[in-house]
Structure 1
Amino acid sequence: MERIAYITVKAPFGEQETFIITEMLALRDRGVDLLIVPRDSDGELFHEEAASLTGYTLNIPWLSTDIVKRLAVFICRNPRSFFRIIEDTVLKAGRLKTALKNLVVLPKAIYLSAVLRDASVSHIHAHWASTPSTMAYVISEITGIPWSFTAHRGDIAEDNILRRKCAAASFVRAIDEGGRREISAVVNDPVIEKKILTVHMGVGVPEVVRRPAAGSLEVFTILCPANFVPKKGHRYLIECCRLLSARGVGFRCLIAGDGPLREELQAMVEGLPPGCDVRLLGRLPHERILGMYEEGAVDAVVLPSIVTDEGVKEGIPVALIEAMSYGIPVVSTCTGGIPELIGDGSGVMVGEKDVESLAAVIERLARDPDYYSMLSRRGRRKIETDFNISTTVDRLLDLFSGRGRST
């Protein structure tokens, strides 16, 4: 099996990128010889499931004596190549912030070019169209190793030399059709656009699901597993809970995550009336979330996502995909790539910021066992068919090897 290098932000370390951890574990289990290269070296292991990946990981700092020496040698021996890379990634970056980000990762990328070449890496894949793919681009320019990248959603809007990367990459993966269209609009080249493909993020589908009947738990339990950032729309779920409480619906709302909006959300929760049971759990390890699903401790997953004033929106949230794989009904909004997941009735969508409709759907799920069971079956069937990690890995392996690419 050929050796594949994966460039991430922090995974397998850090609190986020759980969907990338799932993908890397699945590739490893298929016998892929993985070499994982986090952009940042300051992350600690947070998710227990990622522990088995640390032995495949090169945890290299941003800067060290060896990196400086390797950079100096490269500039002396390959001045034209170095200044061409500077021109492509820094001078033509378009925005000063993007240029500086790319400049910061250049020494490490140049150092890694020799490391990955010596490690006989046959393909490099970067997650994120931002600086991880800048690193992959630079390494490939120096070594000639083929490369590709996965673009998610906010990183597309950043447009970090996106057209140049798409032209140089073997293929470009978008995680949903909306993302593919956005990248194509930036590229605006019919030849390059053929390399831009939609390959969904996949999840493991449990063989056996122990779902409680609707209402069998002591109270109807809602979970919202999402970072505390504006696009996730937590405030509308909290407002929805106020409505549900006023209507006499028995429920418990668990919000798992952390982020810059924590204090604002904490204040909203503290301002709820007595008896309105909303709890901020902090960020939970991935295996803890999946354990709650496996134990039947969650009745519904709700993600009231919005499009922010800056245009930031969701791709297809893996939090919804994972819940559906366990037969847990999901409720979200018709924003970003969410309609691609549940627009066919596999889940329920409401308008963004529509607190009344959100409350009505949750109340129906809590009170209508037949409706609940129907959504449970539909959701799981959708994931088995379209978002199974096994299918995703099959497609990626074909692409890494050169099969299945447009010519």
Structure 2
Amino acid sequence: MRIVYVTQRLPFGPGETFVIPEIEALLSRGHELLIVPRLSAEPVVHDHVGALVARTRTLPGAFAAAGAVARALVRHPRRTAWAFWRLRRTRPHRRAFSNVVATAQGIWLAGVAGAWGADHIHAHWAHLTATLAMGASDASGIPWSFTAHRYDVVLINLLAEKLRSARFGRFIAREMLDRARPLVGPEAIERAILLHMGVPLSRPPVGDMPVRTAPVVLCPARLAPVKGHSHLLDAAARLMTRGIAFELWLAGDGPEGGAIRRRIDELGLGDRVRILGMVPHAALLRLYSERKVDCVVLPSLDLGGGLHEGISVALIEAMAHGVPTIGTRTGGLPELLHRGAGVLIPPADPDALAAALERVLGSAALRSDLARAGRRRIEEEFDVAEISAELARRFAEETVEPRTRDRPRGWRQRVRTLG
């Protein structure tokens, strides 16, 4: 198949690392991909993405997109008018301009996708990338789908409209699917599926973890409020007070970097905590494969309004390498760590976090049990090879119903009044 993948920035900028294994798995299955990032101003910073960059087509400027819309109105006036007409349901209304711009870009993409011979268009994120892909599908007739993650579900940007229009809407966590269900109605939710993000599975680790005088705890997370670093530092201070040997490594950067450094100094943790900064993805995975980390922890918080952890790919990667994990009962983490696949604790509770760390670091047998259970959990539902095969199968499915299903009766007459 020839598949257009619409991303937010990938392969540019530091984000969306979790999409790379999925794209690579589809390529390895013999599919052809064209990657179209909505934003492309940042440099390429990911490791080993030359194959993705070579398959990337960036969006044009405003004049080129406007020209594509003008040509489409001449050649396919009804299709093009419908692509914009469906945006009338945008709420709040201030979001309408962004949706119009994204739809215009989508109409440009329709021409590119058609000329390339695309069989399917898939967007990651249910917000503006999905608006863009929906516009491209409306203008070209090429079927489309999208992957919803976390914040983009909470924004509810034409989510019901997108589900009705798409071949399917993929949710990567049951918690987010359950959140979307009352927001879109039964007809739209019929198009929703649950399919996790996946990671490559290397061979299972052999032998026990090495015994270190000071076990290493790694927190691979952006330095942002939702990640809960302050509670992790408070837990580390409790461990230090109890005389427990450990090192805490923080892998990431972000807006809370200054506050975290000051807190480390206040708690006297300078000899125990290392801030690694932004660690290249390949280097992070080597820490796991070379058995240099004894435990991975993610002390995420729920800040309300949908600001919480999804199913963390950072934890999935650690579990795939047989590294024990600790996470909080927030967002999609319970779905990942349930049935003993990891240790779950309440969020914003340094005492519970300190107790969990002390228990895991103090027992080689527990670490071994957690490593095996975590690896087994990833093999069951998070193997990117299996997930990409299921995605490709769904991309190739025949559309069950006519694509005009979501068009209200008499829409063409109403669209004509716009001109």
TM tier, smaller: over 0.9
Whether contact under 8 Å (1:245, 1:275) holds in the other structure is no
* Matched residue, 1:137: 134
Q: For 1:271-321, what per-residue CA distance to the aligned partner results, in whole angstroms no more than 9, with x for missing partners? A: 221555112222222111101111111111100111103341222101111
SS in 2 for 1:49: coil
Match among 189, 192, 199 for residue 188 of structure 2 = 192
Q: For 1:78-110, what per-residue CA distance to the aligned partner results, in whole angstroms no more than 9, with x for missing partners? A: 555545433423x42111443232233233222
Matched, 1:181 2:174: no
Give the superposition deviation at 1:77.
5.0
- Segment of structure 1 superposing worse, 179-188 or 195-204: 179-188
1:403 and 1:246 mapped to 2: Cα distance? Answer: 62
User: Please, what TM-score do these two structures have when normalized by structure 2?
Assistant: 0.91
1:226 and 1:51 mapped to 2: Cα distance? Answer: 25
Matched, 1:387 2:397: no
Look up the equivalent residue of 1:272 and give its one-letter code.
L
* Matched residue, 1:108: 105
* Matched residue, 1:170: 167
* Matched residue, 1:204: 200
Gaps of 5+ in 2: 403-419
Matched, 1:67 2:97: no
Give the superposition deviation at 1:371.
1.0
Change (3 A) 1:310 1:263: farther
Match among 227, 231, 237 for residue 236 of structure 1 = 231
Give the superposition deviation at 1:175.
0.4
Change (3 A) 1:101 1:257: farther
Whether contact under 8 Å (1:314, 1:336) holds in the other structure is yes
Change (3 A) 1:406 1:273: farther
1:124 and 1:283 mapped to 2: Cα distance? Answer: 32
Whether contact under 8 Å (1:124, 1:147) holds in the other structure is yes
Q: For 1:179-235, what per-residue CA distance to the aligned partner results, in whole angstroms no more than 9, with x for missing partners? A: 12222221112x332221100111111114256526x13421111111222222121
Matched, 1:397 2:399: no
* Matched residue, 1:4: 3
Change (3 A) 1:274 1:109: closer
User: Please, what TM-score do these two structures have when normalized by structure 1?
Assistant: 0.93
Q: For 1:348-367, what per-residue CA distance to the aligned partner results, in whole angstroms no more than 9, with x for missing partners? A: 00001111111111111111
Whether contact under 8 Å (2:103, 2:134) holds in the other structure is no
Matched, 1:349 2:349: no
Whether contact under 8 Å (1:320, 1:330) holds in the other structure is yes
Change (3 A) 1:44 1:210: farther
Q: How many residues align?
A: 402
SS in 2 for 1:121: coil
* Matched residue, 1:46: 45
1:213 and 1:47 mapped to 2: Cα distance? Answer: 29
Whether contact under 8 Å (1:195, 1:405) holds in the other structure is no
* Matched residue, 2:358: 363
Matched, 1:318 2:316: no
Matched, 1:248 2:246: no
SS in 1 for 2:48: helix
1:128 and 1:78 mapped to 2: Cα distance? Answer: 28
* Matched residue, 1:17: 16
- Segment of structure 1 superposing worse, 122-131 or 44-53: 44-53
* Matched residue, 2:121: 124
* Matched residue, 2:291: 296
Give the superposition deviation at 1:327.
0.5
Change (3 A) 1:274 1:376: closer
Whether contact under 8 Å (1:45, 1:51) holds in the other structure is no
1:142 and 1:177 mapped to 2: Cα distance? Answer: 32
Q: For 1:330-362, what per-residue CA distance to the aligned partner results, in whole angstroms no more than 9, with x for missing partners? A: 000111111111111110000011111111111
1:250 and 1:288 mapped to 2: Cα distance? Answer: 25
1:211 and 1:159 mapped to 2: Cα distance? Answer: 47
Whether contact under 8 Å (1:317, 1:338) holds in the other structure is yes
Match among 264, 271, 275 for residue 269 of structure 1 = 264
After TM superposition, list the pairs within 5 Å mapping 1:273-288 onto structure 2. Answer: 273=268, 276-288=271-283
Gaps of 5+ in 1: none
Q: How well do the aligned residues superpose, as a CA RMSD in angstroms?
A: 2.1
Whether contact under 8 Å (2:219, 2:249) holds in the other structure is yes
SS in 2 for 1:48: coil
Look up the equivalent residue of 2:347 and give its one-letter code.
E
* Matched residue, 2:414: none
Look up the equivalent residue of 2:39 and give its one-letter code.
D
SS in 2 for 1:56: coil
Look up the equivalent residue of 1:244 and give its one-letter code.
L
- Segment of structure 1 superposing worse, 121-130 or 79-88: 79-88
SS in 2 for 1:20: helix
Give the superposition deviation at 1:51.
2.0
Whether contact under 8 Å (1:237, 1:355) holds in the other structure is yes
Whether contact under 8 Å (1:222, 1:253) holds in the other structure is yes
- Segment of structure 1 superposing worse, 64-73 or 337-346: 64-73
2:401 and 2:165 mapped to 1: Cα distance? Answer: 14
Change (3 A) 1:270 1:227: same
* Matched residue, 1:58: 57
Give the superposition deviation at 1:41.
1.6
Match among 218, 235, 248 for residue 223 of structure 1 = 218
Change (3 A) 1:80 1:270: farther
Match among 315, 328, 332 for residue 333 of structure 1 = 328
- Segment of structure 1 superposing worse, 76-85 or 171-180: 76-85
